[in-house]
Structure 1
Amino acid sequence: MKTTGPLILIMLLTAQISTAQSKLIPMFVGTYTSEGGSKGIYSYLFDMETGDSELQSEVETPSPSFLARTDNFLIAVNELGGGNQSVSSFNLQDEILTFENKVSTKGAAPCHVLLGDKGQYAVVSNYSGGSLTLYSIDKNGHISEMDDFREFKGSSINKSRQNASHIHSAFLGPDKSVYVSDLGADQIYVFDVLKEGGKYKFQEKETIDVPKGSGPRHIAFHPKGKTMYSLQELTGDIIVFKKEKSKWVQSQVINMNDAEFKGEHGAADLKISTDGKYLYSTNRVDANTISTFDIKKDGTLSLKQVLSVEGKGPRNLNITPNGKFILVTNQLSDEIVVFSRDAKSGELKDSGKRIEVSKPVCVIF
């Protein structure tokens, strides 16, 4: 009985330390690299209670413009051309990145990577190449040689941006299919990814059209799985699709800016809160804003708030796992802006916190 007091004290101290540690989470930032600028991927510890961050390390790799990770490894696309385009893998031990390997993407300007089947395959979107590549990955994150490759030959009405297919992203849907946005052709391609003989392959499933000149870029799915949101880079619209039987049917087109906005759009990213109540999206070029939408019971959107991103070129956004902050990567003003988020109303406000880094374009937790 005499040891009860000291034992309780030790347990309380251990619990306090554990709670403090749980507030600090690893965060990784991808950048466009340049001489005298950023060197590659930057890792931080982010405090989910205060919004503060502390730089832990940097790993040199050319223009890692999009990142994806599992608990064991991180994958980055190297957005280059001229035969230097690649996808790179890094081991994650104690949140420290160690280079594993890299392989060619066979298409210029890879700008997005998706990890599927619990990290056993990767899908890379080649923007300038207008193509999609598929790789097997082992449990250590080693990328195999290419399993499958698809090249697309589309175009649309915006002759300066849509003279050819531009594959911008691939997202995993609630049906486990891969949804691929072709900005150049105004189409979303849906593929199943199948495994045969130890290799993965694409199987065509469906093609979804969006309005001409829209330029689909990224996709988000509602947690309930019956609503899909497609972000249109060229018009700043979000197109809402509802699943009816086995088909996606368009139910709404809504713009992310206030009615008085008259400038050029450059819609970049969108994310949905884990409770499925709010959607957030960023818009670049003349807007440089982040928009908050209410998600109604039927899945349609209502514009709630439009805020300045306090910088230029908000290419990517992410919501912290506890939902308390949203981070926006302002590529052209060389910093990440941290917004506080009200979980009840969904509304944002500038926290005043900044993370200075050259040309940040992707942030993941």
Structure 2
Amino acid sequence: MVKEIVSICTIGILATSCQSRKEVKSMNEATNDTLTMLVGTYTSGESKGIYTYRLDAKTGNAQLMSETPVSDPSYLTPSADGKFVYAVSEHNDTTAAVTAFALDKEKGKLTKLNEQPTMGADPCYIITNGQYAVTANYSGGSISVFPIKEDGTLDKASGIMRFNGSGPDPVRQKVPHLHCVQFTPDKKYLFACDLGTDKIHKFNVNLQANHRNKQPLLTTGQPLSFQLEPGSGPRHLTFAPNGMHAYVINELSGKVTAFQYTDGQLKVIQNIEADSVRAQGSADIHISPDGKYLYASNRLKEDGIAIFSINGKDGTLTQKGYQHTGIHPRNFIITPNGRFLLVACRDSNVIQIYERDINTGLLTDTRKDIKLSKPVCIKFVE
């Protein structure tokens, strides 16, 4: 009789355990498909600043959660743990700044922590490695480095790297124009795209540096920079998920440059056209989570997204299609599950939501547009 009771109890425990595992798995799946979406805007129209949405990554449905007043937050980035958000204010004067916020993911609420001047005009890009935030300052021709304290606030800029030079375009390349900064997948280096001089500047990253020890985050790398085609205008850079290849969208030439990446070194393996009408308005670049497709946005004429397949062996690209979008697709993003691609169309005042065909890479408009004045940056927090 005792044995029977033990057996019954064991079966009950196992059943309860299995049920608990299923519930946990179900909860995790639901959590992974529910995203907090942050949208940066230009505030010259009706927008007030940063908008927070809840996005269902299974259906593509979005619900507005909150709005946070801040001037011209044209680019922003969340911390890896989703507790903080850092946003630039893209101003062409001494009011250019970066602001730190605390994020309540459940409520979608941002609370301002503090603000620091970038000491460089028109900051248009920002990244963080958890210890520092780094901005690319377009008109300032510089990048700024900000230590981050334990409470998420920003210390004043501890380093400002200014650049010299020009490019062959007499209008767009009179001076350096820094448009993007990216840490390499191994975290050991930082690359900075300079549209004005057709260069990607290289820095070594001090992985031990933080706001407490006051060690500098960046030192000049070897080589100092990588030279791209004259007049290309490198704008944004992204790495393949495998960390072996990097890709740059060139704003002026409208080409994507593909690189082999090895321990801080970039070797050009291909230049391929993304903008066939030479509008000189190519903007953003991203790769699908599975690493099979690359997307690049173009503006000013034939606004849309060029679609490429990625050769899994050598990283080269083959164009597969072109998706016309709303006006001025400055920025776009792909959901972590790879199902949707969202495009911030600044001059159409809308975020378009496209469903991705994971087999072909092609896009289909879901018509689930999010209407918003001058959206220009979209980020997810899981």
TM-score by length of 2: 0.88
Residue number among 101, 119, 140 corresponding to 1:129 in the alignment: 140
Residue number among 50, 55, 75 corresponding to 1:66 in the alignment: 75
Change in 2 beyond 3 A, CA 1:157/1:14: closer
* Range with bigger deviation, 153-162 or 89-98: 89-98
CA shift digits 1:271-295 (9 cap, x unpaired):
1112211111100111211011110
Post-superposition offset of 1:226: 2.0
Paired letter, 2:297: T
Aligned partners of 2:53, 2:356: CA distance in 1, in Å? 20
Correspondence 1:53 to 2:62: yes
Post-superposition offset of 1:244: 6.1
What CA RMSD, in Å, does the superposition of the two structures yield over aligned residues? 2.3
Which residue of structure 1 lines up, in the alignment, with residue 202 of structure 2? 190
Aligned partners of 2:71, 2:317: CA distance in 1, in Å? 38
Alignment of 1:171-186 (within 5 A): 171-176=182-187, 177-186=189-198
Change in 2 beyond 3 A, CA 1:158/1:19: same
Kept in 2: contact 1:134–1:200 (CA 8 A)? no
Aligned partners of 2:193, 2:373: CA distance in 1, in Å? 28
Aligned partners of 1:178, 1:245: CA distance in 2, in Å? 12
Aligned to 2:75, the other structure's residue is in SS state strand
Kept in 1: contact 2:254–2:278 (CA 8 A)? no
Which residue of structure 1 lines up, in the alignment, with residue 149 of structure 2? 138
Which residue of structure 2 lines up, in the alignment, with residue 326 of structure 1? 341
Residue number among 89, 107, 113 corresponding to 1:78 in the alignment: 89
Aligned partners of 1:182, 1:25: CA distance in 2, in Å? 32
Post-superposition offset of 1:43: 0.1
Which residue of structure 2 lines up, in the alignment, with residue 341 of structure 1? 356
* Range with bigger deviation, 292-301 or 237-246: 237-246
Aligned to 2:270, the other structure's residue is in SS state strand
Correspondence 1:29 to 2:39: yes
Residue number among 161, 173, 181 corresponding to 1:170 in the alignment: 181
Aligned partners of 1:151, 1:303: CA distance in 2, in Å? 36
Which residue of structure 2 lines up, in the alignment, with residue 233 of structure 1? 251
Change in 2 beyond 3 A, CA 1:82/1:7: same
Kept in 1: contact 2:289–2:337 (CA 8 A)? no
Aligned partners of 1:251, 1:351: CA distance in 2, in Å? 35
Post-superposition offset of 1:14: 8.0
Kept in 2: contact 1:181–1:216 (CA 8 A)? yes
Alignment of 1:1-365 (within 5 A): 19-34=29-44, 37-70=46-79, 71-94=82-105, 95-116=108-129, 119-176=130-187, 177-194=189-206, 195=209, 197-205=213-221, 206=223, 207-243=225-261, 247-257=265-275, 261-296=276-311, 297-309=313-325, 311-365=326-380
Aligned partners of 1:262, 1:86: CA distance in 2, in Å? 35
Aligned partners of 1:146, 1:339: CA distance in 2, in Å? 39
Aligned partners of 1:60, 1:179: CA distance in 2, in Å? 31
Paired letter, 2:214: G
Aligned partners of 1:354, 1:152: CA distance in 2, in Å? 40
CA shift digits 1:204-246 (9 cap, x unpaired):
1131000111100011111222211111001110011123686
Change in 2 beyond 3 A, CA 1:324/1:149: same
* Percentage of matched positions with identical amino acids: 37
More strand by share: 1
CA shift digits 1:14-50 (9 cap, x unpaired):
8766654543210000000025x10000000001111
Kept in 2: contact 1:237–1:253 (CA 8 A)? yes
Unaligned runs of 5+ in 2: 1-7
CA shift digits 1:147-199 (9 cap, x unpaired):
11111111011011000000001011123211100000010001112228423
Aligned partners of 1:364, 1:66: CA distance in 2, in Å? 9
Change in 2 beyond 3 A, CA 1:241/1:98: same
Kept in 2: contact 1:327–1:337 (CA 8 A)? yes
Unaligned runs of 5+ in 1: none
Aligned partners of 2:260, 2:23: CA distance in 1, in Å? 50
Aligned partners of 2:78, 2:233: CA distance in 1, in Å? 27
Paired letter, 1:141: G
Aligned partners of 1:15, 1:212: CA distance in 2, in Å? 52
Change in 2 beyond 3 A, CA 1:154/1:274: same
Aligned partners of 1:151, 1:271: CA distance in 2, in Å? 27
Paired letter, 1:39: K
